[in-house]
């Protein structure tokens, strides 16, 4: 077991409770120096794993706080080492003092992500699972949390490992053949071999398909509200998000910059952007606002084209070049009972009528926004989401290597060359799972974690 490390595991802000975590050699003995159980039979040195004791936290004779010590015994802990978690009152002074006592008694301050790094090094988590821990902590939408939890529970690891195991098996067949060419071994069936490689490449590519969900799940779906001034964009934004973020007036040109707010629809996070009304204004500030609105339109996942009784065909021009499958036409101010203009130039993905005094029309609009990206079709069970560029590059590289190998197999290539290339693909996958990864890469990954995790 490595030296004992200690850190405040909870956020550095006053709170009801706070947790100090110790892990490593002598962590229980170090905690026992300042944690005195109320019940002597529950001295923490005598506790079994997963047992807790209530007691006093003392700095010498000085009573600092009372709290609970929870003991984990190696290897049944997060890090795989002996671990003690002290839960006390969440005062910053208390937590800092306890941490000082830990270091005075032989613990070292933990570096960022060091507990999770130890969990990885002790074989409790693969590297992709360890990376997912940081994403679980930082998740801001339920949908992302669900997807990331699948990765934390090992789905990406299992899929990558399954592919690398198969490649290792194929490589093994080649090695046997190369080692014993004169024995009565059957020839390698190149057609079957190619099929196997193709099948593993397809599996890699199907994991890579999930890249498209990462941004949408992690950062939310970007929705831009566009349309002429005064059609009701700001009103709609406030109603969709349930807060008064945008200023509503009947004076045109009030919104001069892009204003952002967010809303969760069926557990998915949507970032809504209210933009300046698109118009040929001579006002410099208003013109800059329009420019920003057009830029937002270009990068948005979904565009709500808001219209009212005064909107005309030429107002559609702003949508030029934008993928029509992601545009929702909104006939706003439907309470005015105007004749709906038919914007025949475009095939909108959805058409919705709304009014600021009709709540159910706003709910319908929210449902339409949700439907456009077909988010309901995402199946999180067993979905190997790719969480970062490191994971993506490893998968892309191994897929590319297999693609090159398939091309080579069409010509008369030597078996030992095939073996070398297969091993390159395997190495990439082992780098992904963390079975073959350099210290520099590990340091980089864990330095992005918070202290105490």
Residues contacting residue 41 through CB under 8 Å, at least 6 positions apart: none
Decide whether 79 or 275 has the Cβ nearer to ligand GDP: 275
Decide whether 336 or 440 has the Cβ nearer to ligand GDP: 336
Compute the least distance from the CB of residue 219 to ligand GDP, in Å.
Answer: 24
Decide whether 91 or 229 has the Cβ nearer to ligand GDP: 229
CB 263 within 8 A of CB 272: yes
- Local structure of residue 334 (DSSP, 8 states): G
CB 307 within 8 A of CB 315: yes
CA gap 415, 161 in Å, rounded:
24
Compute the least distance from the CB of residue 50 to ligand GDP, in Å.
Answer: 57
Compute the least distance from the CB of residue 139 to ligand GDP, in Å.
Answer: 32
Compute the least distance from the CB of residue 332 to ligand GDP, in Å.
Answer: 5
Decide whether 161 or 233 has the Cβ nearer to ligand GDP: 233
Angle of CA points 326, 332, 338, to nearest 5°: 125
Burial class (CB in 10 A: 0-12, 13-18, 19+), 309: middle
By three-state DSSP, how is residue 339 classified? coil
Count Cβ neighbours within 10 Å for each residue of 273-286 and write b for 16 or more, e otherwise.
bbbbbbbebeeeeb
CA gap 199, 204 in Å, rounded:
9
Looking at 273-320, list the stretches that DSSP marks H as alpha helix, in order from N- to C-terminal side: 284-299
Decide whether 220 or 232 has the Cβ nearer to ligand GDP: 232
Compute the least distance from the CB of residue 165 to ligand GDP, in Å.
Answer: 57
- Local structure of residue 180 (DSSP, 8 states): -
Compute the least distance from the CB of residue 249 to ligand GDP, in Å.
Answer: 5
SS3 breakdown of the chain: % helix, strand, coil, rounded to 5? 45, 20, 35
Compute the least distance from the CB of residue 166 to ligand GDP, in Å.
Answer: 57
Decide whether 204 or 365 has the Cβ nearer to ligand GDP: 365
Decide whether 229 or 419 has the Cβ nearer to ligand GDP: 229
- Cα radius of gyration rounded to whole Å, the chain: 30
CB 216 within 8 A of CB 301: yes
- The site for ligand GDP (CB under 6 A) is made up of 229-235, 248-250, 254-255, 277, 332-333, 335-336, 355-356
Compute the least distance from the CB of residue 319 to ligand GDP, in Å.
Answer: 16
Decide whether 263 or 405 has the Cβ nearer to ligand GDP: 263
CB 101 within 8 A of CB 144: no
Compute the least distance from the CB of residue 271 to ligand GDP, in Å.
Answer: 17
Decide whether 34 or 331 has the Cβ nearer to ligand GDP: 331
Compute the least distance from the CB of residue 336 to ligand GDP, in Å.
Answer: 5
Decide whether 207 or 330 has the Cβ nearer to ligand GDP: 330
Q: What is the DSSP string of 355-400?
A: -TT-HHHHHHHHHHHHHHTTGGG---TT-----SHHHHHHHHHHHH
Closest of 212, 259, 239, 243 to residue 366, by C-alpha? 239
């Amino acid at each position: 077991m490595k030296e004992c490390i200690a850190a405040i595991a909870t956020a550095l802000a006053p709170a009801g409770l706070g947790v100090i975590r110790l892990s490593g050699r002598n962590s229980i003995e170090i905690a026992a120096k300042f944690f005195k159980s109320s019940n002597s039979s529950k001295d923490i040195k005598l506790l079994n794993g997963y047992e807790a004791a209530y007691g006093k936290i003392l700095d010498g004779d000085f009573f600092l706080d009372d709290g609970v010590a929870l003991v984990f015994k190696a290897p049944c802990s997060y890090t795989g080492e002996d671990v003690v978690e002290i839960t006390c009152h969440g005062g910053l002074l208390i937590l800092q003092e306890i941490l000082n006592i830990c270091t005075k008694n032989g613990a070292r301050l933990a570096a960022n992500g060091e507990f999770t790094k130890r969990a990885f090094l002790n074989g409790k988590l693969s590297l992709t699972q360890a990376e997912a821990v940081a994403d679980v902590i930082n998740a801001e939408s339920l949908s992302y949390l669900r997807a990331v939890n699948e990765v934390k529970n090992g789905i990406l690891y299992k899929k990558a490992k399954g592919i690398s195991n198969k490649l290792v098996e194929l490589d093994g067949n080649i090695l046997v053949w190369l080692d014993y060419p004169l024995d009565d071994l059957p020839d390698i069936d190149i057609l079957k071999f190619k099929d196997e490689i193709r099948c593993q490449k397809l599996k890699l590519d199907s994991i890579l398909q999930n890249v498209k969900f990462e941004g949408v799940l992690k950062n939310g779906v970007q929705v831009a509200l566009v349309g002429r001034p005064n059609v009701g964009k700001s009103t709609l934004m406030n109603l969709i998000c349930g807060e008064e973020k945008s200023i509503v007036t009947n004076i045109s040109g009030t919104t001069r910059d892009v204003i952002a707010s967010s809303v969760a629809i069926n557990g998915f996070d949507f970032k809504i952007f209210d933009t300046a009304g698109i118009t040929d204004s001579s006002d410099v500030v208003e013109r800059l606002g329009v420019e920003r609105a057009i830029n937002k339109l270009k990068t948005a996942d979904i565009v709500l084209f808001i219209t009212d009784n005064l909107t005309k065909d030429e107002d559609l021009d702003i949508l030029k070049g934008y993928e029509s499958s992601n545009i929702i036409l909104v006939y706003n101010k439907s309470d005015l009972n105007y004749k709906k203009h038919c914007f025949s130039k475009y095939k909108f993905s959805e058409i919705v009528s709304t009014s600021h005094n009709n709540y159910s029309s706003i709910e319908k609009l929210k449902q339409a926004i949700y439907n456009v990206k077909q988010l309901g079709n995402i199946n999180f069970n067993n979905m190997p989401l790719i969480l970062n560029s490191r994971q993506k590059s490893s998968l892309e590289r191994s897929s590319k290597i297999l693609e090159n190998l398939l091309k080579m197999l069409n010509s008369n290539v030597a078996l030992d060359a095939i073996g070398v290339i297969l091993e390159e693909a395997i190495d990439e996958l082992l780098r992904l799972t963390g079975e073959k990864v350099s210290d520099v890469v590990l340091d980089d990954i864990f330095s992005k974690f918070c202290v105490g995790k």
